[in-house]
Amino acid sequence: MRIFKTITVLLLVCGLLGSPALLFGCGRAEKEQIIVGSKDFPEQDILGNMLRLLIEAKTDLSVIHLDNMATHVIWAAVRTGAVDVYIDYTGTFYGNYLKLSEPKSAEEVFEISARVLMEEYDLRILDPLGFNNTYCLAVRPDTAEQYGLRTFSDLAEVSSGFIFGGSAEIISRNDGLPNLKRVYNMSFAEEKELHHDERYHAIANNEVQVTEAFATDALLMEHDLVVLEDDKSFFPPYYGVVVIRNEIAEKHPGLVEVLSLLTGIITDDIMRQLNYNVDVLGQSPADVAENFLREQGLIK
């Protein structure tokens, strides 16, 4: 099913299929469909299911949830109308989509991103959900102790002897490793492209000595890794926000009100715990999302 949905999105983005409504059924004549997207890691699957459940519970819209999408795919999808709403991160807008690199405060990153996305792409960003899932670099405790590592600058001094493990995105993106290495005068003996879970297995087995992580990653706790300080503030803030096509927001103003129920209620600790429930305890993202919304009194 995931393969089918991924291929479907790619075809929609390329304009090789008709409208999502026609593809997934002729329901728009009776019950209009909203296409919710999410990226290809557990946190995004949880958040995508939150959007789906809220829309299903509090509107008369039906929902198609397209998950497991790479960042560049979902960005293309929302701009072409293959996805109507999803959750992204302010730092991703600022550094990756808009190609900006000047250090700014969290408020400035949000305001710049919201203004440019509306002006250039007709996309609306709602107020932040509350958590900041910024990038970080992590090492094993014994590595940190042996080399006296506390900061990115400390790492730069010895990085040439280390193997780095991270996603394809951080290895290649403007807001990732290429500019990070320039800012910190850092280099690695090798850079391995690894998926989310693979990174943690690799560093646990000392196959890599440095790994990319997200601040809300539950596996940081599970593997007792040391998160290094970004002492030159290279990574911008990555606050989670709902992105919705303005055409959809204007057509369904009540939908914006429903999605805004998530504003400010998901702290870093809460998001890390939700991720822990999936990554470590093995619960399904859909169940974790539903339980959280029920606890918050947002769905029955």
Which domains can be identified in the chain, with CATH numbers? 2-132+237-295 (3.40.190.10), 135-227 (3.40.190.120)
Q: What is the pLDDT of residues 3-12, one digit of tens each?
A: 445 455 555 5
Decide if 132 contacts 239 (C-beta within 8 A): yes
One-letter identity of residue 183: V
Mean pLDDT of 202-229: 93
Least confident of 107-111, 159-163, 168-172: 168-172
Distance CA 156, CA 214 (A): 20
Is the pLDDT at 231 greater than 90, yes or no? yes
Across the chain, mean pLDDT equals 90
* pLDDT at residue number 20: 53
Instruction: Look up tokens 């290895």; give the residue.
Output: 171
* Best mean pLDDT range from 92-106, 194-208, 241-255: 241-255
Is the pLDDT at 58 greater than 90, yes or no? yes
* pLDDT at residue number 8: 54
Decide if 192 contacts 211 (C-beta within 8 A): no
Q: What is the pLDDT of residues 275-298, one digit of tens each?
A: 999 999 999 999 999 999 999 999
